[in-house]
């Protein structure tokens, strides 16, 4: 079941909300929690009921390990066991095929690579629960009930594609009985944000995807302008697609009186790579910093160790996104760019709140670097990525491409690109805009128009890009 489907919007969501708040109005708080857990598990199982058992087994295992760690008897051993099982589970489903391919290529073997279907959301619920175990080891958790823990892991707005949530932020909200009663301000804000996110997915991201897929599928036949159109197109598509999901998740949380963490803060307005990673997929960045970068030593053991830890963290981020060398290379590119950015700031004695040079130049360099890296993120192979980049810098072809460029044929794409760039550069993201939200006729109109246009164009269901991660 997808957020951008009729069955979710007109059946699942209304039923869940009505029954949840009905139970809350009758002060049946335990039943309300149980209902939310069961409905979230149903939401997950709607995709493939075979993997419900995997999700439940993961929840039971991590809950038991967490309680054993909280007893402070041999807690280090239990932490190692818990993290090892989580890593092995994620590794089996996500990386078995990739590693076997590498063994076959390097050793000359001919092992049969099994077809393993990647369970939806496994990266997200594995990271969420691994963070919980580490926090338990640090003494930052208390004895949560099994039902509350289940809700923490499964609550349907975040389960499949994030944002990554943390027990200290969410579980107190689950335990607040007031949240079981309808809040009309939160409901209005949630509906507005959900409609905007749905519009971004259906009307913008899905339409751009047709254009982008065509360009990447014919990567060996591109001219100068088409290559640039493909690179820019995917840069926009990925942002609108993933930010749409994150905003729709936050919106659904608001309808349930839950405050999910913000995942984006206008990342394409960033003036440096450091600034970009403070704005892009913010919950992943927080997770990597808290549970990977700092435990490896962070910046506490000298400049070389800091750069090493930074680079390794970005390589792991790349591998987390996908089992392929192009993803690892993408992570390495960002790791290298971050190292350069940090060294530039250090050499000029500027702190991280400053930028190097005029703002337009800083923005242009940052945006170009991010866009170039996205090509490897999207490409099926290095050959595909390198061919597209070669076409982007084939200046001998620019005159031929310009001569054959039909304005009347490509006007929609051109104006869409200009409009998209303008939105991403100048407008604040919807989350920031909603901080000053007031239910009035303007927001009613925005919500209604965005919803109606989206529903009109929602003739096919397309998965969100981050489902594959």
467 to 92, 94, 243, 288, 461: CA distances (angstroms)? 17, 13, 13, 20, 13
- What is d(CA 5, CA 1) in angstroms, rounded to the nearest whole number? 7
Hey, what are 370's tokens? 């991010």
Hey, what are 465's tokens? 């890009």
Instruction: Answer left, alpha or beta for residue 354, where phi above 0 means left and psi between -120 and 50 means alpha.
Output: beta
Please choose, from the candidates 370, 173, 162, the residue with its C-alpha nearest in 3D space to the C-alpha of residue 283: 162
Contact 54, 117 (CB under 8 A): no
Residue 321 annotated in active site = yes
Please choose, from the candidates 32, 55, 3, 63, the residue with its C-alpha nearest in 3D space to the C-alpha of residue 463: 3
- Long-range contacts for 389-394 (Cβ within 8 Å, ≥24 apart)? 389/227, 391/219, 391/222, 391/223, 391/224, 391/226, 391/227, 392/224, 392/227, 392/228, 392/231, 394/223, 394/224, 394/227
Point out the catalytic residue in the list 167, 321, 334, 342: 321
- What is d(CA 242, CA 427) in angstroms, rounded to the nearest whole number? 17
Phi and psi angles of residue 90, each rounded to the nearest 5 degrees, phi first:
-65, -40
- What is d(CA 4, CA 454) in angstroms, rounded to the nearest whole number? 9
- What is d(CA 255, CA 179) in angstroms, rounded to the nearest whole number? 10
Helix residue ranges per DSSP H, 26-121: 29-45, 52-70, 75-107
Instruction: Answer left, alpha or beta for residue 111, where phi above 0 means left and psi between -120 and 50 means alpha.
Output: beta
Could you give the residue numbers annotated as active site? 321
């Amino acid at each position: 079941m997808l957020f951008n489907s009729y069955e979710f919007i007109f059946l699942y969501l209304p039923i869940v909300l009505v029954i949840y708040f009905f139970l809350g109005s009758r002060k049946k708080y335990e039943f309300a929690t149980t209902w939310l857990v069961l409905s979230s598990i149903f939401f997950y199982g709607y995709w493939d009921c075979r993997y419900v058992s995997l999700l439940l087994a993961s929840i039971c295992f991590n809950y038991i390990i967490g309680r054993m760690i909280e007893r402070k008897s041999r807690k280090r051993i239990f932490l190692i066991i818990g993290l090892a099982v989580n890593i092995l589970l994620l590794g089996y489903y996500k990386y078995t095929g990739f590693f076997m391919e590498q063994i076959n290529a390097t050793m000359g073997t001919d092992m049969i690579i099994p077809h393993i279907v990647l369970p939806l959301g496994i990266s997200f619920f594995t990271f969420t629960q691994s963070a919980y175990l580490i926090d338990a080891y640090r003494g930052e958790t208390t004895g949560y009930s099994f039902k509350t823990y289940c809700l923490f892991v499964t609550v349907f707005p975040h389960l499949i594609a994030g944002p990554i949530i943390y027990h200290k932020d969410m579980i107190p909200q689950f335990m607040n009985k007031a949240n079981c009663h309808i809040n009309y301000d939160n409901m209005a804000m949630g509906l507005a944000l959900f409609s905007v996110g749905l519009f971004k997915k259906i009307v913008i991201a899905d339409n751009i995807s047709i254009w982008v897929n065509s360009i990447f599928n014919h990567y060996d036949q591109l001219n100068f302008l088409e290559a640039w159109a493909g690179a820019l197109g995917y840069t926009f598509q990925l942002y609108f697609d993933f930010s749409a999901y994150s905003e729709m998740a936050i919106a659904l949380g608001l309808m349930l009186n839950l405050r999910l963490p913000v995942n984006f803060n206008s990342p394409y307005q960033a003036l440096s790579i450091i600034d970009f990673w403070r704005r892009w997929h913010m919950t992943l960045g927080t997770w990597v910093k808290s549970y990977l970068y700092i435990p490896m030593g962070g910046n506490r053991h000298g400049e070389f160790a800091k750069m090493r830890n930074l680079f390794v963290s970005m390589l792991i981020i790349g591998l987390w996104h996908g089992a392929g060398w192009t993803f690892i290379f993408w992570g390495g590119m960002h790791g290298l760019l971050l190292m350069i950015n940090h060294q530039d700031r250090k050499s000029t004695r500027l702190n991280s709140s400053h930028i190097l040079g005029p703002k337009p130049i800083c923005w242009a360099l940052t945006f170009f670097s991010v866009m170039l890296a996205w090509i490897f993120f999207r490409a099926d192979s290095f050959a595909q990525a390198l061919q597209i980049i070669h076409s982007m810098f084939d200046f001998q072809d620019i005159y031929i491409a310009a001569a054959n460029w039909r304005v009347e044929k490509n006007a929609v794409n051109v104006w869409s690109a200009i409009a998209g760039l303008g939105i991403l550069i100048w407008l604040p993201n919807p989350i920031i805009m909603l901080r000053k939200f007031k239910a009035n006729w303007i927001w009613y109109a925005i919500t209604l128009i965005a919803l109606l246009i989206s529903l009109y164009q929602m003739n096919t269901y397309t998965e969100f890009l981050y489902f594959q991660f």
